[in-house]
Amino acid sequence: MRIDKDLVAASASPLVLAILCEGETYGYALLQRVREVSGGDMEWADGMLYPLLHRLERQRWVTADWRTPPGGRRRKYYAITPEGRAALAEQRRQWGAVVRALEGVWPSLPSAALPAPGGA
Amino acid sequence: MDVLEQRLAEWRTHVGRSPAVAGVDVEELESHLRDQVEDLRRVGLDDDEAFLVAVRRLGAVDGLSAEYAREHGDRLWKQLVLAPPAEDRRSRGRLRQALLLAVGAGLAVQVPRLLGAGVERPADLGLLVLLVLPFLVVLVGTRAGAALGPRGWLVAAVPFVVGAVAVLAPPWAEGSSTEVLVVLHLPVLLWAAVGHAHAGGRWRSHEARMDVVRFTGEWVVYYALVALGGGVVVGLTVLLLQPAGEPVLEQVLLWLVPSGAAGAVVVAAWLVEAKQQVVENMAPVLTAVFTPLVALVLAASAVVYATTGLAADFDRDLLLGFDLLLLVVLGLVLYALSAQEPTRRPGVMDRVQLVAVVSALVLDALVLASLLGRLGELGPTPNRVAALGLNAVLLVDLVVAAVLAVRFLAGRAGADRPARWQTAYLPVLVVWAAVVVVVLPPVFAFR
C-alpha cells in the first residue's frame, strides 16, 4: 500500500520527532528507522528528510551537531530538545483527535468502502 | 581516482550549484549517499550501480533544491531556483529599462528649475525627492521577483500623493522648522513605497521585508560607490571647463550634479539587482568591519555622557548627531541580521553587536531624559516633539533588540528572533515618519 504524499508530508514531523525520542541519530539511520516502523509503506525521497530536519532545527525542536564517532565517518547528529518533546506531545494529541474522529465515522460507511478482506 | 569518488565529485558540483543548498548541506547529503552506497554494496551491487540507486533514492536534484529553497529562503534571494536564470535578452531589456528610468529621473529633477522655481527652501528639496523616487519605485516594482499588481501600484502611489500634499500645500512660514522636519522624514515615508514595490506587495511576509532591508543596504553601498565616481567626474569637469569661463561651467554643473545624483538613485538599484552576488559577499565584511568600530564609538560616548551628564551643552546639533548615530546603529544591526543564517550559533560578532546596542540604548535613554526635561521646562516645539518621538521609537526597538540578543547569546532564543523583531518593527518607523509629515505641521501651525 502506498500512502498518499500529503499524508506522508503531514505525518513526517511527528514521526521524525518520535524517532529522535529514542535517542540521537543521523539522517541515514533515521530513514532506516522510518522504513522499519512503516513497513515500507511510507515512501520518502531520502533527500527530503534533510530540509525537514533543518526546519525542526530552526524551530529549536532539535539540535544538530557534526561529530565523528570513533572508527566512523563525520556525520551530523540530531537530538530532540525539551521544546521538541513538548511539540511532539501536542502533535500527538492532535493526531489522536484526528484518529478518534475518523474512527467515529468509519462504522457508518457502506460496506463498499470497507477494505476487501486480505488487503487491496 | 576510483569510479565512486569520481561520481561523488561530479554529484557534489552538480548539487552545490543550487544557491539553496549550502556547502555543509552538500556534505550532509554526501554522508547519506555514502551510507546508502555501503549498504547497497553489501547486498552485492557494484560501485556504479550502488551510486545510481543511492542518487535515485535521494530524489531528483531539482525537487531537492526546491525543497531546500522552501526551508532556506534566506539563501535564495538571488532567486535562481524559484525564477529560472534570466536569459540574456531579458537582462538586456532590463538594462534598457533601467537606463530609461535613470534618464527620466535625471530630467524630472530638472523640471522645477526649468519652470523657473528656485531650489532654496527645504520644501523645494522635498519636491525633488518626490520627483525622483517614483522612477525607483517603477524599477523595483517591475523586477521579475516583484510582479506588482494594479492594486499594488495604487498602494505604492499613496505615500507620494500624501507626501506631495504635505510638502506643497502648506503655507510654510519663513524659517519654518516643521518644513525642515517634513523634508527630513519624507524619504522614510517614500522608501516605504519603494519597499512595498520591492516586496511585490507582500510586505506582511518577514522574508519579503528582510529582502527589502538587504536591498536597501546594498543600494546604499552602491549609491555611495556611484557617488564617489560621480565626485571624480565633477572634479574633472571643473578642471576641464575652467578655461571656458564661469557661466559655461555653471550651466554644465547645474545639469550634471542634480541629474547625476537623481539618475544614480535608479542605477544603484539596478546594480543591486544585476550584480547581487558581488555585494552579497560584501555585506558580512562591511558589517564585520564597521560594527566593532561603531560599538567602540558608542560605548566610549555612552561612558562619557553617563558620567558627565548631557544637560549642560546639549544643543540641537548634538541631538541631530545622536539621532544619526542611533540610526546608523540600527542600520548596521539590520544589515548584519540580513546576512546571517537563521540557525547559526552565537559568536563574537553577536557580543560586539550587543555592546553596540546596549551603548546606543544608554545614549538614547540619556537623550530622552534630557529631551523630556527641556519639554517640561521650555514647552513643546516641533523639533523637540519630533526628536522625542524618534528617540522613543528607537528606544523601544533597542530595548527589545538588546533583550533578544541576550536571550540568543544565552541560547534561549533562536537566531532568527532578532531579525524577525526588526522586520516586524519597520512599519512603526514608517508610521512615525508619516506622523511627522502629516500631523505635526498643522498641529504647530506650520511654524
Q: Are B342 and B419 in contact (CB under 8 A)?
A: yes
State residue B281's pLDDT score: 62
Average pLDDT over residues B175-200: 89
Residue B387: per-residue pLDDT: 85
Residue A93 has what pLDDT? 95
Q: For residue A41, what is the DSSP state?
A: -
Chain B closest-CA separation from residue A103 CA (Å): 33
pLDDT band at A120 (very low <50, low <70, confident <90, very high): very low
Q: Looking at B169-241, list the stretches that DSSP marks H as alpha helix, in order from N- to C-terminal side.
A: 177-198, 206-241
**What are the pLDDT digits (tens) for B349-362?**
888 888 888 988 88
CA distance B429 to B424: 10
Separation of alpha carbons B20 and B435, rounded Å: 40
- Share in percent of chain B as helix, strand, coil (round to 5): 80, 0, 20
Instruction: Look at residue B430 in the predicted model and tell me its pLDDT.
Output: 92
The pLDDT of residue B73: 60
Neighbours of B295 (CB within 10 A): 22
Q: In which residue are the cell numbers 563574537 written?
A: B348
Beta bridge partners of A80: A62
Q: Is residue A14 part of a domain?
A: yes
Q: Does residue A78 or residue A111 have the better pLDDT? A: A78
Q: Is A117 on the interface with B (CB under 8 A)?
A: no
Mean pLDDT check: name the lowest of A90-99, B313-322, B348-357, B382-391: B313-322
pLDDT of A80: 94
The order of strands in the sheet holding A62-67 is: A25-26, A75-80, A62-67
Q: Confidence band (pLDDT; 50, 70, 90) for B77?
A: very low
Whether A76 sits inside 8 A of B31 (CB atoms) is: yes
pLDDT for the residue B1 = 52
Please name the helix (run of DSSP H) or strand (run of DSSP E) that holds residue B411, with its range, or none: none
Q: How many CB pairs under 8 A join A and B?
A: 67
Phi–psi pair at B20, nearest 5 degrees? -80, -20
Over pLDDT 90: what percentage of chain A?
Answer: 40
pLDDT band at residue B369 using 50, 70 and 90 as cut-offs: confident
By the CB < 8 Å criterion, does B342 face chain A?
Answer: yes
B414 pLDDT above the threshold of 50: yes
Using a pLDDT cut of 70, give the percent of chain B over it: 89
pLDDT for the residue B265:
94
**Total domains in the fold of chain A:** 1
Instruction: Supply the pLDDT for residue A3.
Output: 78
Q: What is the pLDDT of residues B121-169, one digit of tens each?
A: 888 888 889 999 999 999 988 887 677 888 889 999 999 999 999 888 8
Q: What is the average pLDDT across B261-273?
A: 91
A19, A30 in Cβ contact below 8 A?
A: yes
Mean pLDDT in residue range B218-240 = 90
Judge: A28–B57 Cβ closer than 8 Å, yes or no.
no
* Contact predicate B428/B398, CB 8 Å: no
Cα torsion angle, B107, B112, B113, B116, sign: positive
pLDDT tops 80 at residue B345: no
Contact call for B58 and A47, based on CB within 8 A: yes
User: Does residue A82 have a pLDDT over 80?
Assistant: yes
Show Cβ contacts of residue A94 under 8 Å, excluding neighbours closer than 6 positions.
none
The contacts of residue B316 (CB under 8 Å, 6+ apart) are B383
What integer pLDDT is reported at residue B446 of this predicted model? Answer: 79
Specify if A60 maps to a domain: yes
Do the domain assignments include residue A59?
yes
C-beta atoms of A50 and B57 within 8 A: no
Among A22-26, B366-370, B440-444, the range of highest mean pLDDT: A22-26
In this prediction, residues B305-329 reach a mean pLDDT of 71
Lowest pLDDT segment from B62-76, B133-147, B363-377: B62-76
Q: Are B198 and B211 in contact (CB under 8 A)?
A: yes
Which residues of chain A from 11 to 70 reach within 8 Å of chain B, CB to CB? 26-29, 31, 45-48, 50-52, 54-55, 57-60, 64, 66
Chain B residue numbers with beta carbons less than 8 Å from the beta carbon of A52 are: 71
Joined grid coordinates for residue B224: 555611495
User: In angstroms, rounded to a whole number, what is the distance separating the alpha carbons of residues A58 and A3?
Assistant: 28
CATH number at residue A22: 1.10.10.10
Out of B34, B63, B414, the one facing A73 most closely (by C-beta) is B34
- Residue B227 pLDDT: 94
How high is the pLDDT of residue B287?
79
* Mean pLDDT along residues B250-269: 90
pLDDT at B76 exceeding the cut of 70? no
Inform me whether the pLDDT recorded for B85 exceeds 70.
no
Distance CA A70, CA B299 (A): 47
Query: Is residue A102 in a domain?
Result: yes
Residue A116 belongs to some domain of the structure: no
Query: Is B82 a residue whose pLDDT tops 60?
Result: no
**Mean predicted confidence (pLDDT) in B435-443:** 88
In a domain? residue A96: yes
Bigger pLDDT: B332 vs B284: B332
What value does the mean pLDDT take over residues B68-73? Answer: 71
Cα–Cα distance for residue pair B264/B230, rounded to 1 Å:
9
**Helix, strand or coil for residue A77?**
strand
What is the pLDDT at residue B277? 56
Signed CA dihedral, B335, B184, B226, B272: sign only: positive
Task: Choose between A109 and B358: higher pLDDT.
Answer: B358
| pLDDT classification of A25: cutoffs 50, 70, 90 | very high
Residue A89: per-residue pLDDT: 94
Q: Which residues sit opposite A25 in a β-bridge?
A: A78
The predicted-structure confidence for B33-68, as pLDDT tens digits, reads as follows: 898 899 999 998 888 888 888 888 887 777 777 777
Q: Which residue of B has its CA nearest to A81?
A: B412
- Model-level pTM? 0.66
- DSSP assignment letter at B203: T
Is A10 within a domain?
yes
Nearest CA in chain A to B15: A47
**Average pLDDT over every residue of A59-68:** 89
| DSSP character string of B27-83 | HHHHHHHHHHHHHHHHTT--HHHHHHHHHHHH--HHHHHHHHHHH-GGGGTT-TTTS
Residues 6+ apart with CB under 8 A from B111: B131
* A76 touching B (Cβ < 8 Å): yes
Interface predicted TM-score (ipTM): 0.81
Answer whether residue A119 shows pLDDT above 50.
no
Domain with A21, as residue range(s), is: 5-107
Q: Is residue A45 part of a domain?
A: yes
Binary contact (B64, A47; C-beta < 8 A): yes
| pLDDT at B313 (0 to 100) | 53
Q: In this prediction, what percent of chain B has a pLDDT beyond 90?
A: 19
Q: What is the DSSP letter of B242?
A: G
Does the pLDDT of residue B406 top 50, yes or no?
Answer: yes
Average pLDDT, chain B: 82
Mean pLDDT of B26-33: 87
Q: Is the pLDDT of residue B92 over 90?
A: no
